[in-house]
Amino acid sequence: MKKTIFYLFLLISVFIWAGCKKGNNYPGGKISPYIPIYDLRELYKGGDVQLTVEKMYGSDKITGIVVSDYSGQNLPSGLLMIQDKRRLSQLRGIAIPIGADAANYNSGDSVTVTIAGGVLTRDNGMLQIKNVSASSVTKISSNNPIAANRVPSSSILAKPSDYESTLVAIVKGGFDPIPAPTDTYAGDKALNDGFDNITLHTEANATFANKALPVSANFYGVVLNTQAADGKLIPQVRLRKADDVQVLSSTISVTPIVISGFINDVSGTDGNYEYIQLLATRDIDFSKTPYSVVVTNNAGASTPTGFPANGWATGGGSVASGSNVATMFRTFKFNLTTGTAKKGTFFYVGGAGKTINGSGSTSIASANWIRAFNYTTQDGDGFGARNTGFFANSGNAFGMAVFNGTAVTKDSEPIDVMFVGSGGSLFSGGANPQGYKITNTDLYDIINPITLQPQPYYRQGSNTLCLAYTTPADQGFYYKLGGIYNVRLGRWVKARAQSIVQLSKTSSINEIEGEFPASTTDKPGIVPTSIKE
């Protein structure tokens, strides 16, 4: 035993000696001279940081793409602002005060900056590297493309430090109040992109300060922060030049009906109990101004199969002669031709059951039902075969759309649309595209707002957003969409989002038309879709 231990010790010693012999050492990794801006910003903990090679993990420089541009005279003078995404693909920016030389650099320039010896500090809300001379900056190349970084205003407001000194795209932005013909960029303007209001600031001497404001546009600007007395960062977006505005529209179009909620999988049998909740944004007399609602089900058994050659008008499904055995339709239509709905009120379309959560649950027959019939025994209004459930409960995508009038064709564009899921034969491009047309909503765009390319179908271009299926099945989950539609502006000022309320057999209508669950000190309530004047 002792001999065994001795020989084992000797063998280990030989390996250690061999590994330590001069010339056999692993040389190790070489530290990059460039510290990612993400890591650099993390060094700041509220007090000034003297930047040394040791504190920067062996690095002494940063490198990135310039986003500042002084041609429009709208940025704080002397600040060179660059961004990179060298760490975890997280885009971060930093400002470097180098005086008048900052104007010598253009957006898209690639630069390196020696920052060892500088001081990382926050000055009037902006994190900056001070004590860096203009000679410490070296330009590597010019005219490098900068990918559009579409950021919701709510994200910037929530984490202003993450976006500071970076170039962002505020897409489909508009102003509140609606700009008058004489309104210009000069000063602070409340810019809304459907997620929140953020300040668009323009200096009085900016070259574009006196240009008229658009109704809807994409705004490309740099995020700057100021600091409140309590230390809170207050972000603002600054355009760099007039070309940073991409006008999308100069007119206002108000959607008369918006989709506000629905239930696709009630507790128990679905047939005759599914329904869609809609919100009127103006007074509607359906006998004078008819509309229609079309649903689509793209389950594998739905007929006709393949891509929907006639879009929302595809119809399909069949019932075997002398039986109730049906194949599922692709689209099914409800005509809204009688009744009224007051501005700001909810109304319903769906099965004749008119209960909140399937058979035996609370009756909501007293609600405003504009169109309801037993779709298990009656075909759709114009197309779509009778069925045991017009919404899917899992698998491929289903959707719903509202149309002006009752004559829906493959070329009809809806006035509002919503989808759940993304699977199935939904869109085929090429010379003869086939699919479900969308319209401009909080989720979809007929024209890609970044590339400006046409994309009139769901699953085409950037039109990929959708709600998600809920699980498990048969639980009475109601999709409460929330969101705020501003009638005066003709736009969503708060986008709809998926919130789920689990209904019981005794649930009341307030659970789908009011704030439910109600707000508590620990958790906000789930509010319904609403309109704003």
Give me the mean pLDDT over the 236-246 stretch. 97
pLDDT at 322: 60
Q: Distance between CA 54 and CA 87 in Å, rounded?
A: 19
274 and 331 Cβ atoms separated by less than 8 Å = no
Q: Name the domain count of the chain.
A: 3
475 dihedral zone (left: phi>0; alpha: psi -120 to 50; beta): alpha
Asked if 283 and 408 sit in the same domain, the reply is yes
Asked if 241 and 262 sit in the same domain, the reply is no
The partner residues of 80 in beta bridges, in order of sequence, read 96
Q: Distance between CA 66 and CA 110 in Å, rounded?
A: 6
Give me the mean pLDDT over the 146-168 stretch. 96
Give me the mean pLDDT over the 254-281 stretch. 97
> How large a percentage of the chain has pLDDT more than 70?
93
Q: Distance between CA 231 and CA 82 in Å, rounded?
A: 24
With a cut of 90, say whether residue 449 has pLDDT above it.
Answer: no
Asked if 381 and 511 sit in the same domain, the reply is yes
Asked if 50 and 67 sit in the same domain, the reply is yes
In a domain, 211, yes or no: yes
Which of 224, 249, 274 represents a domain boundary (last residue)? 249
Mean pLDDT of the chain: 92
Give me the mean pLDDT over the 257-286 stretch. 97
Q: Distance between CA 469 and CA 291 in Å, rounded?
A: 27
In a domain, 431, yes or no: no
In a domain, 32, yes or no: no
Asked if 109 and 166 sit in the same domain, the reply is no
In a domain, 22, yes or no: no
List the domain range (segments joined by +) for residue 83.
37-141
Q: 3-class SS at 113?
A: strand
| 485, two tokens | 């539609």
Which of 206, 224, 249 represents a domain boundary (last residue)? 249
Asked if the bond preceding 235 is cis, omega within 30° of 0, the reply is no
Q: Distance between CA 180 and CA 159 in Å, rounded?
A: 32
Give me the mean pLDDT over the 70-85 stretch. 97
Asked if 311 and 407 sit in the same domain, the reply is yes
202 and 74 Cβ atoms separated by less than 8 Å = yes
127 and 164 Cβ atoms separated by less than 8 Å = yes
For residue 42, what is the domain's CATH number? 2.40.50.140
In a domain, 198, yes or no: yes
With a cut of 80, say whether residue 424 has pLDDT above it.
Answer: yes
With a cut of 90, say whether residue 516 has pLDDT above it.
Answer: yes
Q: Distance between CA 386 and CA 316 in Å, rounded?
A: 10
Pairing of strands 477-480, 416-420: unpaired
pTM: 0.82
CB neighbour class for 155 (10 Å; exposed up to 12, middle 13-18, buried from 19): middle
Q: How many helices (H) and strands (E) does the chain have?
A: 5, 33
Q: Distance between CA 176 and CA 252 in Å, rounded?
A: 13
Asked if 163 and 65 sit in the same domain, the reply is no
Q: Distance between CA 104 and CA 93 in Å, rounded?
A: 19
Asked if 134 and 161 sit in the same domain, the reply is no
For residue 201, what is the domain's CATH number? 2.40.50
Asked if 381 and 528 sit in the same domain, the reply is yes
Asked if 296 and 347 sit in the same domain, the reply is yes
* Lowest-pLDDT range of 79-93, 284-298, 321-335, 424-438: 321-335
In a domain, 457, yes or no: no
308 and 314 Cβ atoms separated by less than 8 Å = yes
Give me the mean pLDDT over the 56-62 stretch. 96
Which of 249, 265, 285 represents a domain boundary (last residue)? 249
pLDDT at 320: 67
Q: Distance between CA 74 and CA 93 in Å, rounded?
A: 18
| 208, two tokens | 């574009």
Asked if 302 and 383 sit in the same domain, the reply is yes
Nearest to 517 by CA among 531, 503, 506, 497: 503
326 and 386 Cβ atoms separated by less than 8 Å = yes
* Lowest-pLDDT range of 8-22, 40-54, 445-459: 8-22
442 and 418 Cβ atoms separated by less than 8 Å = no
In a domain, 16, yes or no: no
Give me the mean pLDDT over the 108-112 stretch. 98
With a cut of 50, say whether residue 5 has pLDDT above it.
Answer: no
pLDDT at 15: 44
Give me the mean pLDDT over the 62-83 stretch. 97
Q: How far is CA 404 from the centre of its chain?
A: 27
In a domain, 454, yes or no: no
With a cut of 60, say whether residue 359 has pLDDT above it.
Answer: yes
Asked if 216 and 353 sit in the same domain, the reply is no
Q: Indicate the DSSP class of residue 347.
A: E
pLDDT digits (tens, 9 = 90+) for 301-335: 899 999 999 999 999 998 766 666 677 899 999 99
pLDDT at 328: 86
Q: Quick one: pLDDT band at residue 176, thresholds 50, 70, 90?
A: confident
Phi, psi of 130 (to 5 degrees): -95, 170
pLDDT digits (tens, 9 = 90+) for 135-155: 999 999 999 999 989 999 999
Q: Distance between CA 35 and CA 155 in Å, rounded?
A: 25
Give me the mean pLDDT over the 224-251 stretch. 92
